[in-house]
Structure 1
């Protein structure tokens, strides 16, 4: 080992499109307090929410303590707690439990170990508790009309009126729906959320939203209105045509408006049987098929108080309780970006095809002027074939929106209650000459803050990484879905299990996945089995009779990933019973053999060598994969138990993991280290999960994995199980160049093959487009599937060299491994403690120069090739490792 050359200095790393937080700041400053994993703390469920704060301080500064103050709305202190601690992430609530509807402000300050004065207080953060289930007076109201669950009904409008009798200090609307809803108050839209209340395991958890409507209330008469649609709740859902009404057969609204007057009075307006309803201009709306809107049916002013609704019929009140209502734990779905037309592909008298240049999830907005009754159709697709929209991969999803003009001037329209996965749009019936500026594509997804960035000297890899980001955006629409375009869009458990490490680097998805994991636990069967999709979709032919490795292991591995990345032991505590139930089920199924050798498994799903009509028929042994995952989940559960102080469980599951590992070795590992199943995925999993004995056997297994990759001419030979771990398995055995050759291969199948064929998202199949340019003929052929993009975690941790060495990145592992001809790489991550940056380049002599930024509150272990490890504290550091 050579000694590591180190010099202090300012790094120049600044990844594109990252938030600007550079610059030396004098003294110590505290950013506004964050509440749980929420970007805003309006209407939260937690009476004692945990708090986090990021500190910016001079290099090497160490926190000795913090102080948190809770203030009432007038600014008077309610509580103050001073704690001698270096903690700053998810620290305990310092005051009495929040009462329902209570609104406070929270601020923090810190001090260091050198006796200095405390920092200034942070800018206060507002925290407001929501409406617990016992506080609801509103009733679910629905159109009073016959219901035929086999026939879609037109989405209705609902409204109620009320009087305001004085100056208003504060007003809130608490609302949810069976189906989807949007509110209007006095003719103005309430909030900017889309697809609310989202998709949950409705019978267990139905989210409600809280809106600040103080500025929309006016003296005298007021009106609250709502648009409703079937959405996931009552609309068509599932394969092969799907089924309607899987969760319920009618839409309904629950809304409670509460007004606090300046004189101290409080008024509650609740949805009830006095409200009225009418058909609206949306004539049909479907998640899969799109939305139709007839502007001639609009009712101007329908949500304003001077509208005459006396002819509207009264609503019906449902016998539906509120015990399952929960506040969101993550951000809502919003429009986060708007794209203009990149090019007009073709145009003729009847239709226009345009290309937005990016495969995305969302819907289109148009501005049009034409005669009343003109019908414009918008058809969506991910690819073209022969110059036409290729809709085969949509299967039974219509993916078509229609707009009927009212006439009389320019009209602006966008669907409300649907979304599509598309890059190309076919526009039919456009009146007059088409102007590309008249149509835009609006990108919708859960509005998670971006936290991670990566780039390197190979632009093809940069495009691959951008494709991963866009696929995550496209498939994190309220639940982590598999695809956004066809008649599916389910929360497949295996996809997010393998992708969670990448997801939690790119975006702050802790709050969103916390909500989804709560549904995973709720949907588990009594024996501990985990559904393949969550929320579970009845009659969708996706529920396993046997525990499915990779998919079911989400109950254990994804909570652990979130703990590693966000430093939140609370997620382990909440999911522990679910994780234990699943591992106990595996233990019972395996029996005394400790091997899983029966039942259906997906194996290495979509291994490129599998027959087209048998995507589970991988070269890797499905039961080897199942047993490997059993050992890995048991070991992970033992670590969970250790964190939670469940010492008896820790010993029990550690012993179980050892027993499964021993059984795996007896069944699948030869004395030489070779496996009985000679497949890349089998070796990659066995090595990555530590299932091959150390020493010569493990070294031999590493060599064989490299040989298998070389025998495949450095092309991918793995599916959903092997792809996320193969580069890690190669790297940990020292075969870094083999990992790079695999990454940089361009022939099909490979990661760069889609890139070189114009992909802007990750494909479901390695050969989604064949080398001759034709689409794969299989109807299961999504062009926006994030699972195979899990390799981005290797880009972050190994290529750039930024990984967690302690939960929440309290300690960083900085261990770049250059190769593949790359001359530089860099990554930035907004950790729970602050911004971390790693950037390296090779100088003209081949020496590696590294710039590092460690956030306040963190330390780092720097491990460069050919050098001894170095421990560093917070601040900026520069290193040089000789060639």
Structure 2
């Protein structure tokens, strides 16, 4: 009996330990243990982990320490908030390692242990001692040599901490004692350099030695002065690249020292003879200087760097994830093109570069030309690169094997033409690296349909290839710009695939920086087109739509607070240029790249689907005003809310007066016209059913093919599902002939999203090479509908944003037998997986702790729903509220 009691006690204790509330995934400003935080009141977040169901946080306590000294304690706060909890203490010192810890209480009577994380503060603006330095070389130009800088110094004490703060007017790469600093590339990234320049911070303690040390740096033109866009503009931000470097040392005795960039640094020409964003890079192994960044190197013959009086008052610590290397690829095929050229196929369209190991005679030249597609005749297709050369050229030393890797350019490609290699190509000598901003992948999605699964992969690869610090339109031709329209239509999908919170917040700072004084937001950000101060619907209102979508997806209220004035100025610009609340002035992209007959003549006998430019503009005017109402309510801007509610009524009335007949027929009988009118509630409620019918009849008239462009496509399936025509939405998704989402996959083996529905036509000829990209994510916005409707994962807005209050409502159809989706939210993983077998549907749901969910069951037979064999009490509308936990429901169809 005694043994039984002991066993029972041990069992209960073990279960108590197992059931203990735990905290994980601690972040500061959305980053894990970051270095270089310049927010005065950094925000803390954590996730609750418990094996119990229905767990909610009831209270928390945060303590912040500088060393052993506590600098702030929140005390016990009775609140459920576990994300974006701001520090409320005195201003933190610069360049200081700060530790914070948190514990939480839940509604199950559990208290977590203290869990800790840390962050290091950035430099205060007055702490910069470093001087901007440039090479001073005559040939250090856009099309010239890349300079390398070095500095030797000696530390006579034991180093306990060393942090390097670095930025450039251009792109930089740093070495310390011959070893590369950090794993980021193309730093400091791309911003509106003359208004907003980020610097990065690196912990380099492990690279330091007590005694002699050496710093090395190379400096490329990058976006700073390379030619940008098709206008061949160079030196947009300045003609001279420059480096700013400050190394802060802390010694064991507590003393400190700074090593800074100044004219004592030495400079010489590197082996990189040319580096440019569009044209590529030239590396000459004959010009290499061995061990130039090491301690022992003699730089007596190097010249002194030149100090420059460039400002530092606009510097900010980097707030987003840097570009890093990710997936690697070896050629899946080496073959001869019809014209005899040697081609490598990497099997996947990626953005990045190729490393090469090669051996040959001194002065031999190998050229890698990157491109997207093979043409119908079996030859490489370069025409759509326009003026971009997209080449990496390597000159061999003749001294054994040389290794080459670009550092200040990038390419969009699946295929590479190889020139200059004697003999048979060895695929092992070539490795392709995918480069993109180091956002955490958060979303996964899969169905029983292989083509839909490939579409999901293509959407994600399109995002990877175009999220290189800035959300670009395409990564290969002489463009690669931050088009606002592309970014806004894709922003919600992007925020499912990856944690894009910081990525967008950083880019939105440039939206504010480049906004014209009259409130108009340029077509591209950073603004390098120098267009007039006007704003196009669906493009400029990215400055309103993206902040709101970031708030909804991540619960980041601060982005709305920060961007509110920018958002307001953008709407006020529209209000000023509109005539009596009718936006029928100025240039408009409208439903960009919608279907036109001459796109692919005779494919299925369809008519063009061109929607009136200003009808589209009026709809987006209403959309922007509605988001301002929503934002005003969230931020407590009561007067603004009232003003915008009145304005919205007038905007919708003007739409009905100008673009709608008395019976509800629109002047443009296109899919996009009816989609936008229904999506934004532009029509009287009584006329919406017939508008839906007109939309469906239009789709049927095209034999269930879409004809929408950039602005209509994102809302096509959501509108159909919202108004009860999920059947039609599924038919459009699963359509696999031109034009459709699956056509590029089934007919041409696409591995990314295309710019046009027929970038490659059914007969394997190409669209207009002046504007045909095979990696252009805008049409991938259908991912949002797939996640929210097929998997069924969504979030409430306002107080429930960021998946605090979750909606899970899968809509079954299209002959799919299973679908599953999961999303890593700031609270933890949300998952929904359903499977049909033997006439029954099994639905597995996961809800993270500290959240609640409203489930809508995908069956009309509510009485058949069971969970673990127990009948469930489900509302007559098929809904049920649930707390955290994992659930498996079974029901009849």
Paired with 1:431 and 1:778, the residues of 2 have a C-alpha distance of 32
Question: Which of 550, 565, 568 lines up with 1:562 in the alignment?
Answer: 550
Separation in structure 2 between the aligned mates of residue 217 and residue 516 of structure 1, nearest angstrom: 34
Check 1:78–1:812 CA distance in 2 against 1; reply closer, same or farther (3 A cut).
closer
Inter-partner Cα distance in structure 2 for 1:32 and 1:646: 33
2:590 aligned counterpart, secondary structure = coil
Displacement of 1:69 after TM fit?
2.0
Instruction: Give deviations 1:99-143, integer Å, cap 9, x for gaps.
Output: 111211122211112444x11122x21211111221100011001
The separation in 2 between residues aligned to 1:521 and 1:610, in whole angstroms, is 39
**Equivalent in 380, 398, 403 of residue 407 of structure 1:** 398
Q: CA deviation at 1:80?
A: 5.4
Q: Is the 8 A contact 1:72 1:78 kept in 2?
A: no
Distance 1:79 1:377 in 2: 60
Corresponding residue number in structure 2 for 1:420 = 411
2:107 to 92, 106, 113: 113
Q: Distance in 2 between matches of 1:351 and 1:260?
A: 57
CA contact (8 A) 1:350 1:429 kept: no
Where in structure 2 are the equivalents of 1:138-217 lying within 5 Å?
138-146=130-138, 152-217=143-208
CA distance in 1, matches of 2:890, 2:639: 47
Please, what TM-score do these two structures have when normalized by structure 1? 0.94
- Structure 2 gaps of 5+ residues are 1-16, 601-607, 863-877
Please give the per-residue CA displacement for 1:215-242, whole angstroms capped at 9, x wherever unaligned.
Answer: 11112221111001101101121205x1
When normalised by structure 2's length, the TM-score is: 0.93
Of the candidates 596, 600, 606, which is equivalent to residue 583 of structure 2? 596
Query: Which deviates more, 52-61 or 657-666?
Result: 657-666
Residue matched to 2:10 = none
Distance in 2 of aligned mates of 1:349 and 1:854: 57
Give a deviation string over 1:277-296, Cα, whole Å, max 9, x none.
Answer: 11110000010001000111
* 1:348 Cα deviation after fit: 11
- How far off is 1:429 after superposition? 1.2
CA gap of 1:522–1:181, structure 2 versus 1, over 3 A, is same
Residue 607 of structure 1 is matched in structure 2 by 594
Aligned to 1:51: 44
Residues in 2 aligned to 1:25 and 1:204: alpha-carbon distance in whole angstroms: 52
Q: Cα distance 1:679–1:399, how it changes in 2: closer, same or farther (>3 A)?
A: same
Taking the TM superposition and a 5 Å limit, the aligned residue runs for 1:373-522 are 373-385=363-375, 386-522=377-513
Q: Following the alignment from structure 1 to structure 2, what is the Cα–Cα distance between the partners of residues 114 and 779?
A: 63
1:633 aligns with 2:620: no
Aligned residues of 2:61 and 2:73 also touching (Cα < 8 A): no
Q: Find the counterpart in structure 1 of residue 571 from structure 2.
A: 583
Task: Work out which of the residue numbers 88, 93, 97 in structure 1 matches 2:91.
Answer: 97
CA shift, 1:545, in A, is: 4.7
Query: Which residue is 1:851 aligned to?
Result: 844
The yes-or-no answer on 1:239 pairing with 2:235 is no
How far apart, CA to CA, are the structure 1 residues paired with 2:19 and 2:85?
26
Q: Residues 721 and 544 of structure 1: is their aligned pair in 2 closer, same or farther, counting only changes over 3 Å?
A: farther
- The one of 225, 229, 233 equivalent to 2:216 is 225
Deviation, 1:673, is 2.7
CA distance in 1, matches of 2:598, 2:562: 41
| Count of paired positions | 847
- Pair 1:672–1:843, CA change in 2 (3 A): farther
Which structure 2 residues correspond to residues 760-799 of structure 1 after superposition, within 5 A? Answer: 760-799=751-790
Deviates more, 1:423-432 or 1:795-804: 423-432
Cα deviation code 1:661-697 (max 9, x no counterpart): 12212222333332222110010011111111113x1
Residue of structure 1 aligned with 2:881, choices 867, 871, 875:
871
User: What residue number does 1:69 align with?
Assistant: 63
Q: Looking at both structures, which has the greater relative contact order when contacts are Cα pairs under 8 Å and sequence separation is at least 6? A: 1
3-state secondary structure, aligned to 1:301: coil
Alignment partner of 1:702 out of 676, 681, 692: 692
Q: Tell me if the contact between 1:606 and 1:765 (Cα under 8 Å) persists in the aligned partners.
A: yes
Instruction: Describe the SS at the equivalent of 2:650.
Output: helix
Q: CA deviation at 1:800?
A: 1.1
Equivalent residue of 2:185, what SS? coil
Deviates more, 1:339-348 or 1:207-216: 339-348
Q: Cα distance 1:180–1:270, how it changes in 2: closer, same or farther (>3 A)?
A: same
SS of the equivalent of 1:670 reads coil
Distance 1:106 1:551 in 2: 41
Change in Cα spacing, 1:77 to 1:92, as seen in structure 2 (3 Å) is closer
For 2:122, the equivalent position in structure 1 comes to 130
Quote the Cα distance in structure 1 between the aligned partners of 2:462 and 2:450.
18
TM-fit CA distance, 1:347: 7.9
Matched, 1:860 2:853: yes
How far is the alpha carbon of 1:308 from its aligned partner? 1.4
C-alpha contact (below 8 Å) 1:532/1:544 kept by paired residues: no
Question: Which residue number corresponds to residue 354 of structure 1?
Answer: 344
Choose which of 708, 717, 730 in structure 2 pairs with 1:718: 708
Runs of 4+ in 1 over 4 A off after TM superposition: 74-78, 347-351, 610-613
What's the CA shift for 1:147?
A: 6.9
Counterpart CA distance in 2 for 1:703 and 1:349 is 53
